[in-house]
Structure 1
C-alpha cells in the first residue's frame, strides 16, 4: 500500500493520528517560473462601451 492509503486508514480509524509530512517544501518547489500574460487584449476589444449595448 502507498503512504497515502496508510495515512488515510489511520486518519479514518483513529482520532489521534500522526500523519507523515511531505518530503519536500511545496513553497519552494511549486513556485511558478513566470506569471501568465494574456496574448490578446480581450478587455479593450470585447468590452467596448457603446457597442451592442
Structure 2
C-alpha cells in the first residue's frame, strides 16, 4: 500500500473497517443498526470504486 497516497490508504482502511464491522454485526442487531451498516457499506463501496477509477484512469 505504500505506493498509495495517505488519503488513498485511509479510504481503503475505512472500507476494510466498515466491512469488518458489518461481518461482526450480531444476529440480534436492530433494523436501525442494519440500515446504518448498509449505508456505511454503500459509502465505502462508492469511495473504493472512485479510488479504482483514479488509479486506473477510468471515469
When Rg is computed on C-alpha atoms for both structures, the one with the higher figure is 1
Q: Which structure has the higher relative contact order (CA within 8 Å, separation 6+)?
A: 2
Greater helix share, structure number = 2
TM-score, with length taken from structure 2: 0.27
TM-score, with length taken from structure 1: 0.29
